[in-house]
């Protein structure tokens, strides 16, 4: 007589099943152990130690696929630790100890070398994709100054830390408090306007135009005309004029801001 | 030779595991975003399917059936598949880290890929497999089983590569926002499946 959901247990069959499962387990366990011995991947202790000290932001600013890729490149000596922005100086020092190399680097911040934006006139009306990369394809962008910020926000879109925004004057603006100096914006800006400067820097040049003074005047109300007054009045001789632009040597700059006061175009700015 | 052609046509086209039998949908939708990793996934599944058939068919025929414990088939098969995948994972990590990284979570998921269990179950169902490939029910052997497993994997690869090719193109198209991503992938899969139903008429 049979009832639903009730079956008699055949003890012999039970033992056969148990024995079979046990046998298969043992055989495959042996195979897995064998394969794992044969295919053991040598774990690089250096690499994992480096990765523990990295910020783990995976921002890609260093140019590698992520922090683990960067750690691998570091361990192999292919990468430079200073190309990582987010990692704290303390941890970088630890990594340098792991790698057995000397380390000295100051924290950095990014700066946009342009103050044109709305002060710079347009050469044509642009309707289309916002992206600077797209806009710059059409005759180098809509701005009359071929060096200046287009204001399309490619850097803003690529910043992993929300440190960038387009300011009221139509130029990309960096929030120093949020910037981790990862360098992604430096690479993405089609006009190469963004640069990493020492965190202690007090002033920066807000123009990248290498044109002669008259051409700058025609295109932009706030561009540098390369007059050289800043270089002349700098008490530390920290400024030289190259390609109609002042270049600041931050190791010499004392932060007196004489240049800021003297600049007739107000294109040397304080942070 | 005729049987060989029958196996190829049956496993790859007429009874394609993904788009006709709807088995192994998880990797089919998950790893089909770009052609390269889709092909890698296809190869891994093909390899696992072939090995699975090679091991499960004799274990079923020569161990489970004589002992009259055929009801253990699913547990034993899952055991075997899990062990094979585990070994492949270790081997891949050693010999092709790139492929290993590309497949990520989907490699362990082959363990629970119903297409693999499906092919193991299909080749032991002697009467059905015999009718599918047009042989007498009694003449089924391990050779046919392994061949069927191999070409079932090839069928999976063909389907997933077609799918990834379509998805790569669709990713560049301007489509309605509500359909972007997964929904359009489902619709694509539907049309690929409809296209494959043509083979059922053969």
pLDDT in tens, B53-71: 999 999 999 988 888 888 8
Is the full-model pTM beyond 0.90? Answer: no
| pLDDT for res B96 | 78
Mean pLDDT of chain B, nearest integer = 86
Is the CB of A35 less than 8 angstroms away from the CB of B90? yes
Chain B residues in contact with A17 (beta carbon < 8 A) = 69, 72
Q: Please give the average per-residue pLDDT across B105-121, as a whole number.
A: 82
Q: Return d(Cα A177, Cα A156) in angstroms, integer.
A: 15
| pLDDT for res B134 | 78
In this prediction, the residues of chain A whose per-residue pLDDT falls under 70 are: 1-7, 103-106
Q: Is pLDDT larger for residue B163 or for residue B40? A: B163
| pLDDT for res B199 | 85
Question: A59, A213, A185, A219: which is closest to A112 by C-alpha?
Answer: A185
CATH homologous superfamily for the domain A46-99: Electron transport complex subunit B, putative Fe-S cluster (1.10.15.40)
| pLDDT for res A4 | 62
Residue extent(s) of CATH 3.30.70.20 domains in chain A: 108-270
pLDDT in tens, B118-140: 999 988 888 888 888 777 777 78
Separation in Å, CA of B91 to nearest CA in chain A: 6
**A247 CA to centre of own chain:** 23
Residue extent(s) of CATH 1.10.15.40 domains in chain A: 46-99
| pLDDT for res A81 | 80
Is the CB of A35 less than 8 angstroms away from the CB of B69? no
User: Per-residue pLDDT for B182 more than 80?
Assistant: yes
Give me the phi and psi of B21, to 5 degrees please: -95, -5
For residue B154, name the pLDDT band (cuts at 50, 70, 90).
very high
User: Per-residue pLDDT for B81 more than 70?
Assistant: yes
Q: Return d(Cα B153, Cα A141) in angstroms, integer.
A: 52
Q: Please give the average per-residue pLDDT across B138-150, as a whole number.
A: 87
Is the CB of B75 less than 8 angstroms away from the CB of A32? no
| pLDDT for res A105 | 64
Q: Please give the average per-residue pLDDT across B31-42, as a whole number.
A: 84
User: Per-residue pLDDT for B150 more than 90?
Assistant: yes
CA dihedral A110, A113, A117, A120 (to 10 degrees): 180
Query: Which DSSP string corresponds to A138-161?
Result: TTT-SBSSTTS-----HHHHH-TT
**CB of B91 within 8 Å of any CB in chain A?**
yes
| pLDDT for res B159 | 93
For residue B105, name the pLDDT band (cuts at 50, 70, 90).
low
Task: Note the helical H segments in A39-128.
Answer: 45-53, 67-75, 89-99
| pLDDT for res A30 | 93
Separation in Å, CA of A214 to nearest CA in chain B: 45
User: Per-residue pLDDT for B202 more than 80?
Assistant: no
Q: What kind of fold does domain A108-270 have according to CATH?
A: Alpha-Beta Plaits (3.30.70)
| pLDDT for res B1 | 76
For residue B152, name the pLDDT band (cuts at 50, 70, 90).
very high
B200 Cβ partners below 8 Å, 6+ apart?
A: B14, B20
Separation in Å, CA of B97 to nearest CA in chain A: 10
**CB of B69 within 8 Å of any CB in chain A?**
yes
């Amino acid at each position: 007589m049979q009832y639903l959901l009730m079956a008699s247990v055949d003890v012999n069959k039970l033992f056969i099943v148990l024995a079979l499962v046990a046998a298969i387990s043992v055989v495959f366990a042996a195979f897995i152990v064998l394969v794992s011995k044969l295919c053991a991947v040598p774990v690089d202790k250096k690499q994992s130690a480096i990765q523990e000290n990295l910020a783990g932001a995976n921002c890609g600013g260093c140019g590698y696929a992520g922090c683990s890729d960067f750690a691998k490149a570091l361990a192999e000596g292919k990468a430079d630790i200073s190309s990582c922005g987010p990692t704290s100086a303390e941890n970088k020092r630890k990594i340098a100890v792991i790698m057995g190399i000397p380390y000295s680097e100051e924290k950095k911040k990014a700066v946009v070398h342009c103050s044109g934006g709305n002060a710079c006139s347009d050469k044509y009306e642009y309707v289309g994709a916002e992206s600077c990369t797209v806009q710059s394809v059409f005759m180098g962008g809509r701005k009359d100054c071929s060096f200046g910020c287009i204001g399309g926000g490619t850097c803003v879109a690529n910043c992993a830390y929300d440190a960038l925004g387009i300011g009221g004057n139509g130029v990309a603006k960096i929030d120093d408090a949020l910037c981790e100096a990862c360098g992604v914006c430096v690479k993405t800006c089609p006009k190469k306007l963004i640069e990493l400067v020492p965190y202690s820097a007090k002033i920066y040049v807000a123009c990248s135009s290498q044109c002669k003074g008259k051409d700058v005047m025609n295109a932009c109300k706030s561009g540098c005309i390369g007059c050289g007054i800043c270089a002349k009045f700098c008490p530390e001789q920290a400024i030289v004029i190259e390609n109609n632009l002042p270049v600041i040597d931050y190791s010499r700059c004392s932060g007196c801001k004489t240049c800021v006061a003297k600049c007739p175009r107000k294109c040397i700015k304080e942070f | 030779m005729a049987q060989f052609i029958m196996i190829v046509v049956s496993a790859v086209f007429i009874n394609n595991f993904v788009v006709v039998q709807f088995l192994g949908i998880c990797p089919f939708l998950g790893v089909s975003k770009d052609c390269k990793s889709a092909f890698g996934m296809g190869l891994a599944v093909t390899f696992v399917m072939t090995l699975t058939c090679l091991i499960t068919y004799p274990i079923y025929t020569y161990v489970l059936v004589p002992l009259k414990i055929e009801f253990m088939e699913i547990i034993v098969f899952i055991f075997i598949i899990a062990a094979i995948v585990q070994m492949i994972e270790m081997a891949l990590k050693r010999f092709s880290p790139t492929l290993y990284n590309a497949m990520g979570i989907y490699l362990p998921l082959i363990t629970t890929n119903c297409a693999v269990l499906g092919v193991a179950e299909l080749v032991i169902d002697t009467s059905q497999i015999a009718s599918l490939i047009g042989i007498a029910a009694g003449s089924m052997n391990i050779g046919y089983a392994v061949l069927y497993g191999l070409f079932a994997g090839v069928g999976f690869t063909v389907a997933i590569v077609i799918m990834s090719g379509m998805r790569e193109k669709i990713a560049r198209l301007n489509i309605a926002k509500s359909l972007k991503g997964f929904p359009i992938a489902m619709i694509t899969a539907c049309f690929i499946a409809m296209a494959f139903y043509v083979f059922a008429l053969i």
